[in-house]
Amino acid sequence: MSLLPDFSFYNAIVYIVKGTSLTVALIVGSMLTGLAVGLPMAAVQVYGPRWGRFLVGVYVWFFRGIPILVLLFLFYFGIFGLVEKILAEIMGEKVNVPPFVATLATLGLTSGAYQSQIFRGAILSLHLGQYQAALSLGFTRVGALTHIILPQALRVAIPAWANEYSILLKDSALAYTLGTLEIMSRIRQMVSITHLHVPFYILAGILYYFLTWVGIKALKKLEAKIRIPGLGAEVERETTLEDRTGQSE
Amino acid sequence: MVAQSKVLAFAKPRIAPDGAPPLMEAKNITKILGGKLILDDISLSLNKGEFKVLIGPSGSGKSTLLQCVHFLTIPDKGDVFLEGRSALGMGHKNISAFRQEIGMIFQDFNLFDHLTAKDNVSIALRKVKKWPKDKALAKAMEELDKVGLAEKADLYPAQLSGGQKQRVSIARAMAMEPKLMLLDEPTSALDPELIGEVLNVIANLAKGGMTMLMVTHQIGFARHLIHEIDFMENGRIIERGDPESLFADGSSRTAVFCSKLTELTGNQ
Amino acid sequence: MDTWEFYSQKLIPALNQGLWLSVLIIVPSAVLGVTIGVLVGAGRAAGPHWLKRLLDAYVAIFRGTPLVVQLTMWYYGLPGVSRFLGSILGPLGFPEFTWRFLVFSPYAASVVAFTLCSGAYQSEYIRGAILSIRKGQFQAAKSLGFSNSQTFWTITAPVAIRRALHGCGNEIIYLIKYSSLALIVTIQELTGKSNALASFYFRPLECYLLTALYYLALVTLATFFLRWLEKRLHVPGMDQAKAG
């Protein structure tokens, strides 16, 4: 390991924090992949033909029913392993799928299954009348979806999206099992050099906690920005019997 | 003060038949919510068997007053006496005993959503009064029968119409055999065609001699049953009297207010 | 060895062993997780202010950090803490168990990690379910003379159980899937077994695919059971899915 000759805790921490960029890239990439997969699937599940709904159902059932760890192994060692073999046969030279790509694909496709359910719920929660009103104004079915339903559905889905973000962030820590050099695998490298488990895992906890907090804060900001004002009132404290009698249980 | 003199002008001296103290007496009730004075030093009393109606524009504090009389909302100042016993004096531990003796009908029914009609009526008998199950259920069926809903006993609230829900909630309150019933706009959440069935049940209670304090805008249905009307505005009672005197004087606030309601809704 | 023989003689018996270990981890973690969830959820919904703050912190930490980090901490981190404690307490004459109890077996570490993490998530559903009960329901109970504890047992608990069932059930399904992390602390449960088999026989695609089917079967069964339970407890007009 290239770090060993001039190992210092300062360098170790810098090295780990630099891994944050890979974690962030992994999550942002997976969320966008999931969005690209999930949104059309949601539309198919609500408005699509019977066979389309069935296929989406199978997809969602598959990805939601298998642990992320098994999916990572299945994709990286199983499916991508097979793809590598086939490509090697065709091209005559060895091809390697980088662990980062395998991780991103797995997390993204899995997130797509979850996101399709988020958007399906959001679309269904919208007043049925919105869709009908759009059709009555002469929108095509696709036009009604993209111009009327989706802008509202995306808004409704933000809280669930924040939740999905925090789940993905935590799942991304498993990417180390494939050798992606994100936060967790760098932490493990440092632990194996120093044998200091507790301080480094606390550092990992802090980094992940911070990333969760930042992401959720950002999504809350976004939600507040595009929200219709006037909802939610402050709760005031009312006089209780104890206040009047000075007793309590 | 003009308002005060009006109160006196219409108020007839009312004395309980046997000279006993009033069944319920609320004294100097004051309530502040969100920095706003909702109830401003209100006092009122009810003798046994009396039927009193509170009316007034929305936001005048009528519902809050009912809640305070029941000690569901604790007044910031003042106290309520039931047969001479102070609610404040009951203290934290016994306040539920105080509340048991008063029944409340809510605007939006507040039936327990997870219980059938007969369980809604019997649950307090079983859990609060510790009656055995079969006795409580028998009483529940009796009360449901009185409001004409015996055959709906096994349905859940979501399977009942608004009028039926309100009748179940009346049965629920009556099953506890309260000394006083408080009714908070019992028909205001109902479709017009469902109001009648609920008002009938209430009129029957009044005829049966139940002591009642009701917030409502539906006065016409039982004007002859009402003993007294209090008109509230801005947290105060500004007019008080029996219906005949109040409506005889066409310029009383009560008469003007009610005639406006009649104009708007086209019925009384 | 032909394929059929490989499956029936090697793969499936080995995976069945792993499945049994997985069940031995999942069941106690689920039961303890729900218990903690109920206590913590009730405390966060209705407890005194200081308790709310304390429990909120617990939930924030266990939901805000990855389960891998927590599990690794319990199994690999705590023995270091134990050694450190021992170096202080030992010379002072304390008996060994005062620091040894921090050294967990792989199994104990897994159950503790899964229980505490799952409990934090469960408490969210319980808390949400309690807070979702309309104020009017409590007012009606009060007006009938219910005391606080009577209100809790007759109104709050039955309604909250129905409202939380969907979310809590889903959380147990998550637990089934995340029990696969036990392989990180060297347990040969379903995923650990399949990992070992995949590299031993050099047939990763088949091994992992079959393992995936095992989990799909577990999760599908659990989902069916949950739907059945929801239907059984269903009360017209009370939408359970909404609270989740």
A212-241 pLDDT tens trace: 999 989 988 888 887 654 333 334 566 667
Who contacts B185 (Cβ-Cβ below 8 Å, separation ≥6)?
Answer: B63, B107, B215, B216, B217
How confident is the model over A47-71, as a mean pLDDT?
95
Tally of CA atoms within 13 A in the half-sphere of A2 that contains its CB: 1
Phi-psi region of B76 (alpha: psi -120 to 50; beta: other; left: phi over 0): alpha
Angle at C144 between CA C140 and CA C148, to 5 degrees: 80
Q: What is the 3-state secondary structure (H, E, C) of A4-25?
A: HHHCCHHHHHHHHHHHHHHHHH
Give the model's pLDDT for residue A153: 82
The DSSP bridge pattern shows strands B24-33 and B36-46 to be: antiparallel
Residues C65, A170: C-beta atoms closer than 8 Å = yes
Give the model's pLDDT for residue B30: 94
Nearest one of A2, A30, A18 to A187, comparing CA atoms? A18
More confident residue, C112 or B95: C112
Give the model's pLDDT for residue B181: 95
**Best mutation site among B29, B74, B90 for testing chain A: the one with the most A CBs within 10 Å?**
B74
Residues B110, C137: C-beta atoms closer than 8 Å = yes
Structure tokens, A69 = 């760890």
CB-nearest partner of A78 from C65, C72, C209: C209
Cα separations (Å) of A112 from A35, A107, A108, A141, B34? Answer: 6, 8, 6, 23, 46
Rounded Cα distance, C102 and C51, in Å: 26
Residues B72, C139: C-beta atoms closer than 8 Å = yes
Residue-wise pLDDT for A115-145, tens only, equals 999 999 888 877 566 777 777 777 777 878 8
Give the model's pLDDT for residue B15: 55
Rounded Cα distance, B176 and B101, in Å: 8
At residue B44, the 3 state secondary structure works out as strand
**pLDDT surpasses 60 at A4:** no
CATH of C3-243, one of 1.10.3720.10, 1.10.230.10, 1.10.10.60, 3.40.50.1100: 1.10.3720.10
Residues B91, A238: C-beta atoms closer than 8 Å = no
Give the model's pLDDT for residue A232: 31
Tally of CA atoms within 13 A in the half-sphere of C119 that contains its CB: 24
User: In what order do the strands lie in the sheet containing B212-215?
Assistant: B102-105, B180-184, B212-215, B51-55, B228-233, B236-241
**Best mutation site among B71, B80, B112 for testing chain C: the one with the most C CBs within 10 Å?**
B112
Share of chain A above pLDDT 90, in %: 50
Who contacts B59 (Cβ-Cβ below 8 Å, separation ≥6)?
Answer: none
CB-nearest partner of A67 from C70, C178, C198: C178
Nearest one of C87, C236, C211, C229 to C166, comparing CA atoms? C229
**Best mutation site among C15, C19, C65, C82 for testing chain A: the one with the most A CBs within 10 Å?**
C65
Rounded Cα distance, C237 and C239, in Å: 6
**CB contacts < 8 A (B, C):** 78
More confident residue, A178 or C95: A178
Rounded Cα distance, B122 and B182, in Å: 20
Contact B152, B144 (CB under 8 A): yes
Q: Which residue type, as a one-letter code, is found at position B101?
A: E
CA C150 to chain A, closest CA, distance in angstroms equals 15
Give the model's pLDDT for residue A129: 67
Nearest CA in chain A to C78: A198
Give the model's pLDDT for residue B14: 54
Q: What is the ipTM of this complex?
A: 0.88
How confident is the model over A75-81, as a mean pLDDT?
92
Catalogue the long-range contacts made by A137-143 (C-beta closer than 8 Å, 24 or more residues apart): A141/A47
CB-nearest partner of A241 from B34, B76, B95: B95
CA B112 to chain C, closest CA, distance in angstroms equals 6
Domain B101-217: what homologous superfamily?
A: P-loop containing nucleotide triphosphate hydrolases (3.40.50.300)
- The sign one gets for the Cα dihedral A82, A84, A86, A89 is negative
At residue C68, the 3 state secondary structure works out as helix
Residues A238, B73: C-beta atoms closer than 8 Å = yes
**pLDDT surpasses 70 at C131:** yes
CA C41 to chain B, closest CA, distance in angstroms equals 21
Q: Distance from CA of residue C41 to its chain's centroid?
A: 14
C-side interface with A, Cβ within 8 Å? 60-61, 63-70, 72-73, 76-77, 80-81, 148, 177-181, 183, 191, 194-195, 198, 204-205, 207-209, 211-212, 215-216, 219-220
Residues A244, B33: C-beta atoms closer than 8 Å = no
How confident is the model over C19-42, as a mean pLDDT?
96
- The sign one gets for the Cα dihedral A153, A154, A159, A163 is positive
Give the model's pLDDT for residue B149: 94
Rounded Cα distance, B3 and B1, in Å: 6
The whole-chain average pLDDT of chain C stands at 90
Any idea where the domains of chain B sit in the sequence?
A: 101-217, 227-268
DSSP B240-260: EE-HHHHHHSTTSHHHHHHHH
Fold for A4-229, please state it. MetI-like fold (1.10.3720)
Residue-wise pLDDT for C133-182, tens only, equals 888 899 999 999 898 888 988 998 899 999 999 999 999 999 999 999 99
Bridge partners for B237 per DSSP: B232
Per-residue pLDDT 10s for chain B (268 aa) are 344 444 544 544 455 656 677 899 999 999 998 889 999 999 999 999 999 999 988 888 999 999 999 988 899 999 999 998 899 988 877 888 888 899 999 998 888 888 899 999 999 899 888 999 999 999 999 999 999 999 999 999 989 999 999 999 999 999 999 999 999 999 988 888 888 899 999 999 999 999 999 998 877 777 788 999 999 999 999 999 888 888 888 888 888 888 887 766 655 4
Q: Distance from CA of residue C205 to its chain's centroid?
A: 29
At residue A107, the 3 state secondary structure works out as helix
Residues of A in contact with B71 (CB under 8 A): 241
